[in-house]
Amino acid sequence: MFTGIITDIGRVVALDQRGDLKARIATHYDIAGIEIGASIACDGVCLTVIETGTAPEGWFDVEISAETVSKTNIGRNRWSVGHRLNLERALKVGDELGGHIVSGHVDGVAEVLSVTTEGDSTRVRFRAPEALAGFIAPKGSVALNGTSLTVNEVEGAEFGVNLIPHTQKVTTWGTVARGDLVNLEVDTMARYVARLREWGR
């Protein structure tokens, strides 16, 4: 489990497509503290560490299944060598829950429709897949590229969020642009509420 609070910006340094996709990701995390089998959210995708190293910089390797590639922006020509990623280590007992509960299981891909400056902040508007639109509510939470964000408004399948300067500085959101495709995970609570309503019909 994760919280959607990004703690590092990683970088793809190698990709190898033989069977499943294998990626090597450079990080500022203390490699000595990353165990083989650990879970790290990479742009919101929960991936398992299969190898680590420190030369020429700290890095970890992950394997990405075809199913994961097809359900995320990894399969939309978005991951390439040099691509920057929002990273978060798995939640530990006693950690502060600063965002919201995030599973790292991406539900779909949202498209950036517009990016507008509002004071010191940036308003970003997205289009969600129709099947996920009903799980997104004003003032509710969503995870976008692994970042816990509050929804400002919703109109059909379109919704907007506000990015404060701090968020743009400590994540990859500082370079967001119209047309970008981002990983979307809806709030788990919204999913359960929808399921209960369906079951009660």
**pTM of the model as a whole:** 0.92
Domain that holds residue 22: 8-89
Give the pLDDT score at 38: 97
In angstroms, the Cα distances linking 130 to 108, 174, 176, 188 are: 10, 27, 22, 17
Specify whether 148 is located in the same domain as 176. yes
What's the average pLDDT block by block, 10 residues per block, for the chain (201 residues)? 95 93 97 97 98 96 95 87 97 77 93 96 97 93 97 97 97 97 88 66 60
Do the domain assignments include residue 101? no
How is residue 98 written in tokens?
A: 């600063």
pLDDT of residue 142: 96
**Rounded Cα–Cα distance for residues 64 and 12 (Å):** 13
CATH of the domain at 75: 2.40.30.20
Q: Is residue 100 situated within a structural domain?
A: no
Between CA 71 and CA 68 the distance in angstroms is 5
Is residue 172, in this structure, part of any structural domain at all? yes
What is the structure's pLDDT at 183?
97
Counting the structural domains of the chain, the total is 2
Per-residue confidence (pLDDT) for residue 50, from 0 to 100: 98
Q: Confirm whether 95 is domain-assigned.
A: no
Q: What is the pLDDT of residues 109-140, one digit of tens each?
A: 999 999 999 999 999 999 999 999 999 999 99
Determine the pLDDT at residue 95.
73
Candidates 73, 75, 52; CA nearest to 62 is 52
Same domain as 20, residue 76: yes
Same domain, 170 and 118: yes
The pLDDT, as a whole number, for residue 82 is 96
Supply 16's token pair.
């190898």
Q: For 90, which DSSP code?
A: P
